[in-house]
Amino acid sequence: MPNIAALHEIYATDPNALSTTINDIYDRIECEGLNPVWIALIPREKTLARIQQLSLLPEGDRRKLPLFGIPFAVKDNMDVAGLGTAAACPTFARTPATESAPVVVKLEQAGAILVGKTNMDQFATGLVGTRTPYGVCASVFNSNYISGGSSSGSAVAVASGLVTFALGTDTAGSGRIPAMFNNVIGLKPTRGLLSTCGVVPACRTLDCVSILTETASDASIVLAVARGFDELDPYSRVPSASSGAAPWSIAPIFRFAIPTLETREFFGDVHNPTLFQKAIDVIKRDLGGEPVDIDLTPFLAAGNLLYKGPWVAERYTAVGQFIEQHAKDIDPTVYTIITKAKDYTAVDTFNGVYELERLKKKIHMLWKKFDILLVPTAPRTYTIDEIAKAPIERNSHLGYYTNFVNLLDLAAISVPAGIRPDGLPFGVTLIGAAFTDTALLLLGDRIHRALATNLGGSTRPLANTPKLLPTECNSMSSNCFLIAVVGAHLSGQPLNYQLTERNARLVRTCRTRHDYQLYVLKGSVPLKPGLVRVTDFKGPGIELEIWALPADGAPSFISMVPPPLSIGNIFLEDGCIVKGFLVEPSALDSAQDITHMGGWRAYLDSMNLHV
């Protein structure tokens, strides 16, 4: 299935393309069969009627819909008006929902076309995709291997080209594991960024709606539509202006943590260690990454709390009574996991919370050494038969690098990272602080393009799809304040620490437009220059540095700017406008004009005044 941009181009040139695209999807499903990918479909006639309504919209209104005509699917633990919600358990399916989950409503209001609801591990309890009565989903690359779960059908629907994007859920890795096994993007957003109202809970405090696409660009578009505060969702959150600041995302160098060799685990797989090391080497060599070895032990200890601690009781809270009353309809492994919750007491729960907080503090201190964490998405891939022989143990293996993410309130994106010698896909996951979702998508797109070639299970080239690029001039993607410095705050100069202690990161060195002059301010301590814009002046332009300053550090930084300096707009030679240091014209009466030197460093060199 073409990506969002490509479909929009097709629709713009062919008035019949939208109905043809959707009819082709339904024809293919009729040919291939509903299961195992799908649990329920929107009736074709209802979908075609919706297309007819969309087609009647004026061209200007269509362009305002970012997902106009884009086919998508949702996991069958989400409410869709007119369909039952089974969560892969037929007897659980309630009467048809009267309204759709808010996240589904948002997507449809943006013009997206819902095709149907996809298969899953029952009650979202599993990372394998085999715990379902609707048929086992397999990897699109080899039918002997698992698709991964619990969002199995959603990943396969995208990878096999049935839809452009799909929604899953991700509590312990359910949106990331199937993404790796099917060579697609799996975005696990920050908890609370997307509403979980109308979603059958697994662990209500940890659940996330996940996004599966072929490219990071498409995931970014879907995320922008789907996110937003929901007052009916008690766990919905609104990020502050400074939440998720990621100056590293627009800097030429970033630090990425990797597990030490002692804490890397592949459970006997012989191919994935090599591909993971290749990913590390490419990120270091080609993308400006600086690897930092870390002991993954505290992360793994947090992850163990999810299934080997009291958090499993949350699953019982959601559906425990139902499964005990309908034991014959429940997958035996799902039944075992959820009923185990009764072994935990309230005391166990509080002790688990205390242990998690202890681990969070330890990890917070560790995180100061790096910007993001890079791990394999899954240690290895299992066959369907291998999972059947050890369903709980091998499911646990799959969650080695995923289980801890939501417990630690982190964001993550799984990215395709090459094809193994046996033809199966490999993937890596980028993990960042809460609300760094957009920054992770930006870096994820670069890594995807550096390591992968084709889209999903197709031969269509990734290189033909739109890149996801930062908009540096406004720096919104990094939640940072871009500040131009020309003197004492330059790298290596006396006041540069005021930037670095606020976690600012150097973005680039550049020049102002030609209508700026630079002066040495008399009596300033430490010695400082003054930059001023002069109408109709034509000079060489002044060299400066652009720094990305996290938004929460900007007020205190600006408060330290002494007169006669101030912060104002600076026009750069490339057309960007950024905030930066300027000087009041009244301070220039006795100042030395050094404009001809082109910058502060050249002046310091001429005077042999370098610090």
pLDDT digits (tens, 9 = 90+) for 269-296: 999 999 999 999 999 999 999 999 999 9
Q: Is 138 helix (H, G, I), strand (E, B) or coil?
A: strand
Whether the Cβ atoms of residue 396 and residue 388 lie closer than 8 Å to each other: no
Tell me the pairing of strands 505-511 and 425-433. unpaired
Same domain, 412 and 455: yes
What is the four-CA torsion angle of 24, 28, 29, 31, rounded to 10 degrees?
140
Instruction: Say if 325 falls within a structural domain.
Output: yes
Same domain, 412 and 524: no
Instruction: Say if 269 falls within a structural domain.
Output: yes
In this prediction the pTM is 0.94
Same domain, 301 and 212: yes
Distance CA 39, CA 86 (A): 8
Same domain, 374 and 437: yes
Q: Which of 88, 108, 65, 190 is nearest to 441 (CA)?
A: 190
Same domain, 405 and 500: no
pLDDT in tens, 122-157: 999 999 999 999 999 999 999 999 999 999 999 999
Q: Give the range of the structural domain holding residue 512, as residue numbers without chain letter.
A: 476-607
pLDDT reported for residue 472: 47
Instruction: Say if 560 falls within a structural domain.
Output: yes
Largest CA distance in the chain: 90
Instruction: Say if 471 falls within a structural domain.
Output: no
Q: Return the CATH number at 433.
A: 3.90.1300.10
Same domain, 596 and 548: yes
Same domain, 49 and 198: yes
Whether the Cβ atoms of residue 528 and residue 487 lie closer than 8 Å to each other: yes
- Tally Cβ neighbours within 10 Å of residue 260: 12
Q: Classify residue 129 as left (phi > 0), alpha (psi -120 to 50) or beta.
A: left
Same domain, 256 and 360: yes
pLDDT reported for residue 476: 52
CA distances from residue 192 to 103, 234, 361 in whole angstroms, order as listed: 12, 9, 22
Catalytic residue among 100, 150, 414, 477: 150
CB under 8 A, 24+ apart: contacts of 536-541 = 538/514, 539/514, 539/515, 539/595, 539/596, 540/511, 540/514, 540/595, 540/596, 540/598, 541/511, 541/512, 541/513, 541/514, 541/516, 541/573, 541/598
Mark which of 440, 464, 488 sits at the end of a domain.
Answer: 464
Instruction: Report residue 490 CA to chain centroid gap.
Output: 32
Mark which of 444, 464, 484 sits at the end of a domain.
Answer: 464
Amino acid 499 reads: L
Residue whose entry in the numeric block shows the structure tokens 């799996």:
186
Which two structure tokens, joined as six digits, stand for 255? Answer: 């630090």
Instruction: Report residue 233 CA to chain centroid gap.
Output: 21
- List the beta strands (DSSP E) in 235-371: 254-259, 289-294
Tell me the pairing of strands 592-593 and 529-533. unpaired
Whether the Cβ atoms of residue 516 and residue 533 lie closer than 8 Å to each other: yes
Same domain, 406 and 485: no
Mark which of 443, 464, 485 sits at the end of a domain.
Answer: 464
Count how many domains the chain has.
2
Helices (H), 433-539: 437-451, 497-500
Catalytic residue among 154, 174, 217, 396: 174
Catalytic residue among 75, 106, 188, 528: 75
Instruction: Say if 336 falls within a structural domain.
Output: yes
Same domain, 356 and 497: no
Instruction: Say if 250 falls within a structural domain.
Output: yes
Same domain, 375 and 445: yes
Q: Return the CATH number at 565.
A: 3.10.490.10
Instruction: Say if 590 falls within a structural domain.
Output: yes
Is 75 an annotated catalytic residue? yes
Whether the Cβ atoms of residue 211 and residue 193 lie closer than 8 Å to each other: no
Instruction: Say if 470 falls within a structural domain.
Output: no
Low-confidence ranges of the chain (pLDDT < 50): 472-474
Same domain, 422 and 284: yes
